[in-house]
Amino acid sequence: MVLNGFDIGSGYENYEAKKPFTFADHSSIGCGGYARAAFYPKTTEGLSALIGKLEADKVPFYVVGNMTNVLPPDGESRRVFVCMNKLKDIRTKDGVYVSAGVTAGELLHKCKALSKTGAEFLEGIPCTLGGALYMNAGVKGAYIGDITESVTVLKKGRLRVIKRKDCTFSYKHSAFMDDETVIVGANLRLENADKEKIGKKLEEYRARRAHLPKGRSMGCVFKNPEGLFAGELIEGTGLKGFRVGGAKVSETHGNFIINDRGATSAQVRTLIGIVKNAVFAQYKIRLEEEIRILE
């Protein structure tokens, strides 16, 4: 089968292939151009076959989840996209195994049905499990790495199970960033609890997020420097509401950039640069992006 110039072979019934793949439609920030092709593996075997084929043919690719922490490129990406959000499986024999494409919402719904507690802090984070593990997503004091037993990855054509200690989770960091491993799923450490308690915890986490800005964004753009809040530093520079074209620094949360008027990725990048320069000029602190900038 040839898809927009890529010969992707045949016999890979376990994934769907689509073209074109427009970033404005698929990313939470809603800007950027397109990829020539996108693939949606539905099983681990399909994923394995697809990655094997792309690697053998030296086709550059990105693996993505819900695209809620990425800034896609304008124009055509040099890479094809492997979209994990159809790889959905939650198995509860010998612990809780969750596939990379399961969203936080789906996981929490299942946990409540099974009376399992521990993952409630993911409430409202618009992630897939794979994206959460890659980014070590969470909220202050509770991160996905804290409840992970092991992560199943695809590396050099083989499935491997990586123990938590070897995932080197830390603030907004995981070992998966260092070698661009494909995350397939994870075993999570969850405890039993009654449904009412779980429901209350979910409500608490939901309430804490009520103040977050609405609109298209990537969540927090910058990591918090040790002991400080990037949002407060940005607010201190007076840049709240400052805009470059369709991209603006949120009026309610300095660490969010909102796309409210058809921004291009270049405009978002320019705004990121302006914010970094302003924070450095005022505080001599270099902000570091939390978001991943795709090429």
Ligand X SMILES: Cc1cc2nc3c(=O)[nH]c(=O)nc-3n(C[C@H](O)[C@H](O)[C@H](O)COP(=O)(O)OP(=O)(O)OC[C@H]3O[C@@H](n4cnc5c(N)ncnc54)[C@H](O)[C@@H]3O)c2cc1C
Rank residues 85 and 117 by Cβ distance to ligand X and give the closer one: 85
**Which position has the token pair 């800005």?**
213
Binding residues with ligand X: total (CB under 6 A): 31
Among 47, 64, 80, 234, interactor with ligand X by CB under 6 A: 64
Structural element, H or E, at residue 153: strand 148-155
Q: Which of 81, 32, 36, 95 is nearest to 269 (CA)?
A: 32
The answer to the question of residue 68 lying near ligand X (CB under 6 A) is: yes
Q: Shortest distance, CB of residue 13 to ligand X, whole angstroms?
A: 21
The answer to the question of residue 182 lying near ligand X (CB under 6 A) is: yes
CB 124 within 8 A of CB 205: yes
Q: Are strands 90-91 and 96-99 parallel, antiparallel or unpaired?
A: antiparallel
Q: How far apart are CA 162 and CA 152, in angstroms?
A: 6
- Report the site for ligand X in 30-59 (rule: CB under 6 A): none
Rank residues 133 and 278 by Cβ distance to ligand X and give the closer one: 133
Q: Which of 226, 228, 249, 246 is nearest to 237 (CA)?
A: 249
Q: How far apart are CA 55 and CA 70, in angstroms?
A: 23
- Report the site for ligand X in 132-161 (rule: CB under 6 A): 132, 134-135, 137-139
Q: Shortest distance, CB of residue 99 to ligand X, whole angstroms?
A: 9
Rank residues 17 and 139 by Cβ distance to ligand X and give the closer one: 139
The answer to the question of residue 126 lying near ligand X (CB under 6 A) is: yes
The answer to the question of residue 84 lying near ligand X (CB under 6 A) is: yes
The answer to the question of residue 67 lying near ligand X (CB under 6 A) is: yes
Q: Are strands 138-139 and 243-244 parallel, antiparallel or unpaired?
A: unpaired
Token pair for 237: 């520079």
Rg (CA), the chain: 20
- Angle, CA of 251, 256 and 262, to the nearest 5°: 85
Rank residues 7 and 251 by Cβ distance to ligand X and give the closer one: 251
- Report the site for ligand X in 212-271 (rule: CB under 6 A): 217-219
The answer to the question of residue 130 lying near ligand X (CB under 6 A) is: yes
Interface residues with ligand X (CB under 6 A) are 28, 62-70, 84, 100, 125-128, 130-132, 134-135, 137-139, 176, 182-183, 217-219, 292
